[in-house]
Amino acid sequence: MRKNFLFILGSLTGVGLTLLVTGQPGEHWISRAKAAANASDTYSELNLFGEVFERVRSDYVEKPDDSNLIEGAINGMVTSLDPHSRYMNDKAWREMQETTSGEFGGLGIEVTMEDGLVKVVAPIDDTPAAKAGILSGDLITQIDDEAVQGLTLEQAVAKMKGAVNTKTHLKIVRKGKDAPIDVVLNREIIRVRPVRFHTDGGDIGYIRITSFNEQTTDGLHKAIAEISKQIPQDKLVGYVVDLRNNPGGLLDQAVSVSSTFMQRGEVVSTRGRNPEETQRFTAHGGDLIKGKPLVVLINGGSASASEIVAGALHDHKRATLIGTRSFGKGSVQTIIPLGTGNGALALTTARYFTPSGRSIQAQGITPDIEVLQNVPDELKGRVDIRGEASMRGHLSAEGAEQTGSQSYVPPDEKDDKALHAAYDLLRGITVNAGVPAPPKTAVPN
């Protein structure tokens, strides 16, 4: 009875204010009328939710679990916003904390949800998923013979995790393949080593960053220190930082990684619903490679934090970008813990903008030099990422949206055209007359 009373009272209040406005128009009264009308609509819809909830509890063929009903309702509300907002129950929240720490159990695969299916963003290097040949863009339709359709992302991820040395069976749909692919994976402890490095030709340092977790910046600093020991400064012509198929991660790590190569200046800004919510993140710590030329490799699988780093280094003219256009995931998810036992909410709260003011969302970062790889015949048509702009419910771009970009990286470096283009540029070999070689010193802002 109380619910109905509140609903009627809200409706009458809205009508009353509307009538007052029609007699004497004014911005103040119009504002109040709109607010009251919106409140009335909200109360009405909440009453509808309450009625449906009670009907399900009382009349469903089997007695439902109230907590599951509430969690399902929350999931439905949040996932209707955009592809990246989601509710995590307590178990999923703990698992996410383990993942960002850089060590967890599972298959070694970064995934998102698309059209009710689990979509592979990127396999993690040297994990069961990577060894089994799973590719960016693959759609997982079944996990251990259970359909993924109808599961939340957290439920699907939970099913793929399990005890070490146990097996899981995935059914995968891959673009260009007529029939689904069956893959059996053996679960392992996934220790994400986010930074790998080596030297090339005694004059170039190569650094690959595979993810942005709590260990990334420390790993990057160690890599630079080791390369400096192996190559004397007078022989070191520059660095290649490989961000291809890096799905992103923590914002603070993206800022600190950018800071590793910048003396000062803005790295990224985030802009929310209201102008006062704008935040700017600036470089700190100085340029550890002492102004040496820098090339950054990106492709269709480079997303989020990877795009922040690439955009910052490009806008400050600190690096030349080579490869293919990045994914275009330019939205900020704020993690909001909901109290003991209640999990957390990952809510999209802002968009990312590069230092020059360009939005990343649904557009991505375009390289200075586009280099397409030679794709094996058996993989042709299967290694293009459709990008953020193709995801249902994505935030719109500020400008023309861009979709589709190659994500293939040859397993053997000798076949890697983008990497060799980077080496040639650093060594002064002309590969694109329209793009100058990286500057000898950092350009501060």
Just list the catalytic residues: 304, 315, 329
Give the Å distances, CA to CA, from 196 to 2, 105, 206, 311, 440: 63, 21, 8, 22, 25
CA dihedral in degrees (420, 444, 316, 435; nearest 10)? -50
Per-residue tokens: 199: 């030297």
Dist CA 352 CA 263 (whole Å): 21
Residue pair 67/341 in contact by the 8 Å Cβ criterion: no
Give the Å distances, CA to CA, from 90 to 152, 352, 357: 14, 28, 37
Which candidate, 258, 310, 267, places its Cα nearest to that of 289? 258
Dist CA 333 CA 87 (whole Å): 12
Dist CA 425 CA 419 (whole Å): 10
Sign of CA dihedral 299, 154, 160, 180: negative
Which residues are CB-contacts of 231 (< 8 A; sequence separation ≥ 6)? 199, 202, 203, 204, 205
Give the chain's largest Cα–Cα span. Answer: 83
Dist CA 360 CA 304 (whole Å): 9
Hey, which residues does 295 pair with through a beta bridge? 240, 320
Q: Is 286 left (phi over 0), alpha (psi -120 to 50) or beta?
A: left
Which residues are CB-contacts of 438 (< 8 A; sequence separation ≥ 6)? 238, 293, 294, 295, 318, 319, 320, 425, 426
